[in-house]
């Protein structure tokens, strides 16, 4: 650590105002604060100081995703060897998946951070840390067979249209990673859905459909336990509910993610699931409500996407409404519109748009209630 500090101090003067590399100071700043807590303090006004700055918050979120990532790597190998009917030991499977997943992560970070830095230089602001999380989320929500250039295009779209067009990280209406996913889903549907994309180098005879697709087609599903542990085909990070729950525990323990949103998403999904069970007009409606929480991206979306503090609702009551509607609509889209198997993505994006409206009415309602109290006394 001392060595890094020394090197940074040596370089610092040339990046400061007047130095010969001063136009790249935001890049230097980003790297410096990555290693060390910045020394800058607020200059004026009342402020509450906390050791958690946003870079550290983001790193906790990335850490929380590590279980899902590691499991996803292993599962990539597991599904591959299962489909070609070979047995392999744990490390062979993991290594196979690691080599498949790593390029996607590199592309996502490379393109995203590259564009972020370009925009930071152009607009003269600091490199924001928002992309730390998005860059990790994007690889976790794409199928392992997604061509790398598509991931690159989608990441560029998410950063430029989803974030920078609105004024940079923190100003975006939509979750950037989901923007990338939605872009991929609509632009290259044959590579983002169907049953050929989820397993790397799959044998042709092996059905690689996700449980969601199987359910929509009325086929039999894997057992609930298999889906909970995640031994199923799917996007890289979304299959294992268990690994995602470990991430959720980290987020809740550190106070980074809102448990209210996570819980209410699950409740919303269950509620809609039970409503469908009550009607039970077709096979998809009949599957047990809790299956919806285990299938597809529901758990992943609830824990890592819906809780994104920038695009989620801010008020406490608003969080309950926002989360509940996400779960509710996700299951609704899944069951009633089989053309869009991943209802979770669409539901979160929709509620992202509505989050400010929900907050507005919660705040207005609060004001009205308290005004009434004043009037009664007077």
Partner 1 sequence: MSEKEPLFSPKNRKLIFNPLSKDNPITVQVLGICSALAVTVKMKPAFVMALSVMVVLASANVIVSLLRNTIPNRIRIIVQLVIIALLVILVDQVLKAYVYDVSKQLSVFVGLIITNCIIMGRLEAFALGNKPWPSFLDGIGNAAGYGLILMIVAFFRELFGSGSIFGFQIIPDVWYIKNGGFYENNGLMVLSPMALITVGIIIWVHRSKNRDLIEKK
- Residues engaged in binding partner 1 (CB under 8 A): 147, 149-150, 153, 161, 165, 183, 186-191
Q: Would you say the C-alpha torsion 17, 20, 23, 26 has a positive or negative sign?
A: negative
The minimum distance between CB 263 and partner 1, in angstroms, equals: 33
State the Cα–Cα distance between residues 175 and 138, nearest whole angstrom: 11
The minimum distance between CB 182 and partner 1, in angstroms, equals: 9
The minimum distance between CB 146 and partner 1, in angstroms, equals: 11
Which residue number, 164 or 214, has a Cβ lying nearer to partner 1? 164
Residue with tokens 């972020």: 116
Which residue number, 148 or 367, has a Cβ lying nearer to partner 1? 148
Which residue number, 202 or 260, has a Cβ lying nearer to partner 1? 202
The minimum distance between CB 352 and partner 1, in angstroms, equals: 16
State the Cα–Cα distance between residues 222 and 199, nearest whole angstrom: 16
Which residue number, 170 or 189, has a Cβ lying nearer to partner 1? 189
Which residue number, 165 or 371, has a Cβ lying nearer to partner 1? 165
The minimum distance between CB 145 and partner 1, in angstroms, equals: 11
Which residue number, 165 or 225, has a Cβ lying nearer to partner 1? 165
The minimum distance between CB 187 and partner 1, in angstroms, equals: 4
Which residue number, 37 or 148, has a Cβ lying nearer to partner 1? 148
Which residue number, 73 or 150, has a Cβ lying nearer to partner 1? 150
Which residue number, 147 or 255, has a Cβ lying nearer to partner 1? 147
The minimum distance between CB 296 and partner 1, in angstroms, equals: 21
- How many residues can be counted in the chain? 378
State the Cα–Cα distance between residues 330 and 193, nearest whole angstrom: 17
Q: Which tokens hold the place of 148?
A: 């790398």
Residue with tokens 């509940």: 324
The minimum distance between CB 190 and partner 1, in angstroms, equals: 8
The minimum distance between CB 149 and partner 1, in angstroms, equals: 7
Closest CA relative to residue 326, chosen from 280, 279, 275, 263: 263
Which residue number, 18 or 124, has a Cβ lying nearer to partner 1? 124
User: HEC profile for the chain?
Assistant: CHHHHHHHHHHHHHHCCCCCCHHHHHHHHHHHHHHCCCCCCCCCCCCCCCCCCHHHHHHHHHHHHHHHHHHHHHHHHHHHHHHCCCCCCHHHHHHHHHHHHHHHHHHHHHHHHHHHHHHHHHHCCCCCCHHHHHHHHHHHCCCCCCCHHHHHHHHHHHHHHHHHHHCCCCCCCCCHHHHHHHHHHHHCHHHHCCCCCCCCCCCCCCCCCCHHHHHHHCCCCCCHHHHHHCCCCCCCCCCCHHHHHHHHHHHHHHCCCCHHHHHHHHHHHHHHHHHHHHHCCCHHHHCCHHHHHHCCCHHHHHHHHCCCCCCCCCCHHHHHHHHHHHHHHHHHHHHHCCCCCCHHHHHHHHHHHHHHHHHHHHHHHHHHHHHHHHHHHC
The minimum distance between CB 228 and partner 1, in angstroms, equals: 34
């Amino acid at each position: 650590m001392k060595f890094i500090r020394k090197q940074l101090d040596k370089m610092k003067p040339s990046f400061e105002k007047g130095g010969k590399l001063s136009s790249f100071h935001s890049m230097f700043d980003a790297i410096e604060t990555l290693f060390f807590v910045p020394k800058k303090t607020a200059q004026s006004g009342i402020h509450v100081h906390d050791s958690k700055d946003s870079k550290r918050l983001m790193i906790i979120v990335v850490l929380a995703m590590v279980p899902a990532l590691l499991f996803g790597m292993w599962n990539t190998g597991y599904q591959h060897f299962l489909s070609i009917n070979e047995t392999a030991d744990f490390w062979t499977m993991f290594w196979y998946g690691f080599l498949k997943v790593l390029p996607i992560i590199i592309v996502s970070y490379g393109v995203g951070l590259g564009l972020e830095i370009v925009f930071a230089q152009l607009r003269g602001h600091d490199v924001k840390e928002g992309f730390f999380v998005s860059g990790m989320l994007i690889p976790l929500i794409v199928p392992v067979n997604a061509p790398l250039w598509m991931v690159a295009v989608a990441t560029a779209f998410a950063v430029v249209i989803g974030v920078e067009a609105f004024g940079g990280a923190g100003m975006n209406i939509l979750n950037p990673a989901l923007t990338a996913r939605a872009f991929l889903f609509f632009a290259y549907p044959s590579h983002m859905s169907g049953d050929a994309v989820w397993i790397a180098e799959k044998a042709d005879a092996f059905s690689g459909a996700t449980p969601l697709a199987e359910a929509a087609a009325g086929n039999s599903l894997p057992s609930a336990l298999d889906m909970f542990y995640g031994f199923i085909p799917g996007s890289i990070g979304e299959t294992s509910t268990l690994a995602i729950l470990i991430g959720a525990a980290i987020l809740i323990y550190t106070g980074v993610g809102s448990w209210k949103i996570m819980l209410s998403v699950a409740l919303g999904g269950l509620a809609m699931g039970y409503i469908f069970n009550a009607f039970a007009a077709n096979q998809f409606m009949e599957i047990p409500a809790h299956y919806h929480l285990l299938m597809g991206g529901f758990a992943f979306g609830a824990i890592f996407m819906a809780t994104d503090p920038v695009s989620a609702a801010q008020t406490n009551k608003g969080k309950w409404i926002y989360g509940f509607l996400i779960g509710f609509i996700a299951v609704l889209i899944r069951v009633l519109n089989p053309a869009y198997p991943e209802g979770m993505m669409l539901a979160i994006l929709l509620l992202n748009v509505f989050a400010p409206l929900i907050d507005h009415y919660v705040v207005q309602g609060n004001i009205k209630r308290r005004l009434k109290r004043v009037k009664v006394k007077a």
